[in-house]
Structure 1
Amino acid sequence: MSVSVSPPAIPDSTSIEKASTWVAPLRAEIARVLVGQTELVDRLLVALLTNGHVLLEGVPGLAKTLAVRTLSGALHAQFKRIQFTPDLLPADVLGTMVYHPKDGSFSPRLGPIFANLVLADEINRAPAKVQSALLEAMQERQVTIGDNTYKLPDPFMVLATQNPIDQEGTYTLPEAQLDRFLFKVRVVYPSPAEERKVLDAMATSSPKLEVSQVAKAEDVVASRVLVNSLYMDEKIRDYIVAIIQATRAPETFAPHLKLLIRCGASPRGTINLALAAKAYAFLAGRNYVTPQDIKDLAPDILRHRILLSYEAEAEGVSSEEVIKQLLDKLPVP
C-alpha cells in the first residue's frame, strides 16, 4: 500500500521575517569589514543555506580570503585555511592515523578539512590525487581515515579559490569535482567609489579588521527547513528544466550555439539551481521564487558545468556569452 506524503506547508511572510532575523545583522557586519562584493557575500550565504560549496575565481588581492574569514567570524564558525601546493598530500587535508610505539596502537589525527568553513586556497595548484580526496568530503560530508569514517561538522562548506591568469604549475580541476560546486563565482574588481573606500580603510600598517559575532552557524542550519518549503510555481520549475535542457540541445533555441557547446549541465545543475533560487528568495525576505531569481543565479550555477567546444575556444567565446545567449532566447514565464 502506497502512502502519500503531503508537501510541507508554504511559510507566510511573518515566518520568513522571523526566521531571517540573522541575515541583516550578518550582512551589515560583513559590510563593515568588506567593501563591496555584495554579490559574493550573497552567494556565500546561499551556499550555506543549501549545504553547497563555492569556487571563487579572481586575480589576487580581491579580498576572497577576507570575505570567507569575515563570514566565519561573524557566524562564530570554525574556519580553516589550506594552501594547496604541488607537494600537498591527501593526508595533509583529510588527516591520517598516528602510530603510538608505547602501546602499539593507532589513533586518528584529523586534518584541517574538519571545520565549518574550509578555504582551499589555489586549489588548482594541487595534483589530482589531492583534489579527488575532497570528493567524498564535499558530497558525503564525511571523511574515511583508515578503517573508520568520520562525520564533518554542520554546516560544512568548501570555498576554493583559483587564479584565472597564472596557469603555470596548475592542474585542471576534474569535471566530477567541478560539478560538486554549487557556484563558480567570478570575483571582479571594485568600482572607483569602492576602491576609494578600500584605500581609506586599508592604507595603514595595522587595519582594523575585528569582526563581531552577530549570528550563529546554528541559525543558518535551522533556516534550511524553511528554505526547502518555499513556494516554486510549476512554470518556474519547467523554466529551470528548459534552461538545463538548452545547455544540452542548444540548437533548439539557437542553432549557432550547437557548435560551441561540447557538453551540457548535469541533473545536479537542475537541482542546484532550484535550491539556490529558494535560498535567494529567502534572503530577499520572500516566500516564493521569481523568474528573475533563476536568471540572476543561472550564470554562477552553469558557468563551470558547460564544457565549450574547441571551436568556441578558437573563436574566444566564453561560457558567459553562451549562457547569456541561451537565457535571452528562452521564453521567461
Structure 2
Amino acid sequence: MPVFADYRGLPASARGASIALGNFDGLHAGHRAVMSAAREAGEGAFSVATFEPPPHAYFRPMDPPFRIFRPERRNEAILGEGADAVFELPFNGEMASKTDEEFVRQVLVDGLGVSHVSVGFDFRFGRGRMGHAQRLASLGRALGFGVTIVEEVKALSEKASSTAIRQALRAGEPEVAAEILGRPWVADGPVMQGEQNGRKFGYPTANTNLGELIHPKHGVYAVRVRIDRDGDWMPGVANFGRTPTTGLRDPLLEAHIFDFDGDIYGRWIEVQMIAYLRPELHFETVELMTVQMGKDVIEAKKKLVAS
C-alpha cells in the first residue's frame, strides 16, 4: 500500500503531486470533493496528505474516542477513490509549533514538493490554527504552486462534516451518519474472546473492542457483518454497551450474525450499523432479557429488509 509515514526523505517518484490536504476522517462528500478538485487540477500524480494522529487527538488526548475510521480503513478508502499515495503527516510537538508559513515551506514545498494543493473552505493550519485557506492560496502564489479552495458541500440539510457524522452516531442515528458518509458507518476490529454469555442464551456473538473508534450510542442495532474484509455482508443484530444485566464492564460491540455459528476468534470483523432499535436496558432476570433478544432479532430483520 503506497502510504508514507512522513513528509521527509521521500523518493522522487512520490514528490510533485497534486495534493488534497485535510483530515479525511470518514471520507464524506466534502472530503471527496476536495479530492476531486486535486485530481482535476494536477497533470501528474494525485495524492492525499492527512495528519496522523489527528490534531484533536494530540491536543486533547483525554477526550472520548472520536475517530470515524481507523487509519487503515481511511487509507484504504482514499486509495480506493483513485489516489496514487497517502501521506500521513506526523502531528507532534514539532508540527504543532510550525507557523503557517513554516508549514507550507517545510512540509508542502520542501517535503512533498507539491504542484497543487486542494483544501476545504474551512481548512486551518499552523501554530494555533493561524493559517486559513486564503492564506494558503497567498503562500502558494508566492512559492509557485496552485491552490483550489472547495466550497461547502451539503448533506441532508447541513454541511457534510465529520462533526455531523459523530453527532449522529452519538445520538443513535446511524441512518443520518450513512447519508452524510454516502454509505453505512462501519465499526471494525479483531474478534476477541468474550464471556460467551450470548452462546448460553442461544445468541452467540462476535465481540470486538472499538478502542479509538467513536463510541456510538449504547443500545441495540440492526447490522450487517463481514469477516476478514471479504465475502458477503451477513444480516445480524448487535449490542454496544456495558451489559448491565449480566455484569457491567467496559463498552463492547457484540454482534449476533443470523444463521451463523462459526469460530472466528482472532479474525477481523466489520459491522455496518444500519438502524438503532432500542437503548441498552437492565432486566430483572436473564429470562426476561432473552425474551427481549428474540424480539430484537425480529425487529432487526424488519429493518434490514426495509433498508
More strand by percentage? 2
Fold match (TM-score > 0.5): no
User: How does the TM-score come out when normalised to structure 1?
Assistant: 0.21
User: How does the TM-score come out when normalised to structure 2?
Assistant: 0.22
- RCO higher in structure (CA 8 A, sep ≥6): 1
